[in-house]
Amino acid sequence: MPIRELVVTYDFPTDLHLGPQHPGIHGNFAYILKVDGEKIIEAKIVPGYLHRAFEKLMERRTWINNIALIPRVCVPEPDVNEYAFNAAIERIAGWEIPPRAKYIRTVVLEMARISAYLMYLASMGGGVGVYPLTQWAFGDRDYILDLFEALTGARVYHIYMIAGGVRRDIPEGWLDKLEETLKYLEGRLKEYDKLVMNSAVVQRRLVGLAPITPEYAMEHGVTGPNLRATGVPYDLRKLDPYAAYDELDFEVVTEKDGDAWARFMVRRREIDQSIDLLRQLIDKLRKDDTPHIHQPYSGLAFKVPQGEAYVHIESTKGEFGYYVWSDGGFNPYRVFVRGPTTSHAGVLMEDIVVGQELADFSLIDGSFDICPPDLDK
């Protein structure tokens, strides 16, 4: 019997369970796809494999306990959680933080951005089959993690920012090390470009894959680099400045096509931007001699006055926000975590993959930087 006839005896369209144990899915996440041959005709997310009930646990812990708990909400870029939660506390309580604390926080956020983007480049390298990019990007990311370790004492979960500032000041000679690393990274990024720009494989796989327009993106709740890849200069660092971004000089990075290649390039160019921002911050930190923390509370168990505040910041995945309600007690009354993936996976991915080839699914998933922990919480 010819193979063709064997194949058509299958009942199409059929359900395909993709994940959670699948190398093409980023993180512990699953989709149920309805496929007709190679073509996807319907997609549905299956979240919850990483659900730890952060929002419930935070109600049961004191404010300072929570600062140690929350970095775990977003694993590739934990510092956005620390910043947003602490900024929400400071906003409710009306505490002003000293400029040096702002600068140090911004340095940490930008370093986390570089580290998360390098990870993105690495995973895309794996997705298109350019494995040197994976090896290089993860190797270079470790230099950032080493700097984090010297600054905060930990590689991944830093727990460095606390309400009022940061836990400790920058150690002696650390800024020089940061400068060296930035110089090294700049040289390396040129090598990355040679590897990617000249690669026919990368171009063929990414150019024109799953393009979106700005209107479509905003309709589906797309934020962050995915939105900027459609050509609109919407960056919360510019529009709703937090930390020290209002004192820094930068242009929002955009790409016009909105396809996977544009999403890749936005992130690649934002690494350059982050390096530039870090250099500006190094200059500012060298001139600045204010304290690194202003702690208007004493002890470990403090109260936050009654109130509510929403703080959102620009993470590498998109808009990351914390809505904190306080009833004036030792614990938060309620904390809501707004992760970008809830819209990206649940609304965008379910729509954009319809009509795409099954073989491209993993790349589309990767190019939007779907990161399940902030959906599951």
Binding site for another protein (CB under 8 A): 20-23, 27-28, 47-53, 55-57, 60, 68-69, 72, 75-76, 91, 119, 122, 134-136, 138-139, 141-142, 145, 155-157, 218-221, 223, 232, 234, 239-240, 309-310, 312, 319, 321, 323, 325, 333-334, 336, 338, 342-343, 345-347, 373, 375-377
* Smallest separation (angstroms) from another protein to the CB of 279: 25
Cβ closer to another protein: 284 or 377? 377
Cβ closer to another protein: 184 or 310? 310
- Measured CA to CA, the distance from residue 311 to residue 341 in angstroms comes to 17
* Smallest separation (angstroms) from another protein to the CB of 154: 9
Cβ closer to another protein: 17 or 256? 17
Cβ closer to another protein: 207 or 232? 232
* Smallest separation (angstroms) from another protein to the CB of 82: 15
The 3-class SS string of the chain reads CCHHHHHHCCCCCEEEEECCCCCCCCCCCEEEEEEECCEEEEEEEECCCCCCCHHHHHHCCCHHHHHHHHHHHCCCCCHHHHHHHHHHHHHHHCCCCCHHHHHHHHHHHHHHHHHHHHHHHHHHHHHHCCHHHHHHHHHHHHHHHHHHHHHHCCCCCCCCEECCEECCCCCCCHHHHHHHHHHHHHHHHHHHHHHHHCCHHHHHHHCCCCCCCHHHHHHCCCCCHHHHCCCCCCCHHHHCCCCCHHHCCCCCCCCCCCCHHHHHHHHHHHHHHHHHHHHHHHHHHHHCCCCCECCCCCCCCCCCCCEEEEEEEECCCCEEEEEEEECCCCCCCEEEEECCHHHHHHHHHHHHCCCCEHHHHHHHHHHCCCCCHHHHC
CB contact at 8 A, 259 and 203: no
* Smallest separation (angstroms) from another protein to the CB of 65: 8
* Smallest separation (angstroms) from another protein to the CB of 296: 18
Instruction: Report which residue type is found at 7.
Output: V
Copy the structure tokens of residue 1. 């019997």
* Smallest separation (angstroms) from another protein to the CB of 231: 13
Cβ closer to another protein: 169 or 247? 247
Cβ closer to another protein: 261 or 321? 321
* Smallest separation (angstroms) from another protein to the CB of 59: 8
* Smallest separation (angstroms) from another protein to the CB of 246: 11
CB contact at 8 A, 348 and 220: yes
Cβ closer to another protein: 302 or 336? 336
Cβ closer to another protein: 288 or 350? 350
Instruction: Report which residue type is found at 126.
Output: G
Cβ closer to another protein: 78 or 292? 78
* Smallest separation (angstroms) from another protein to the CB of 41: 18
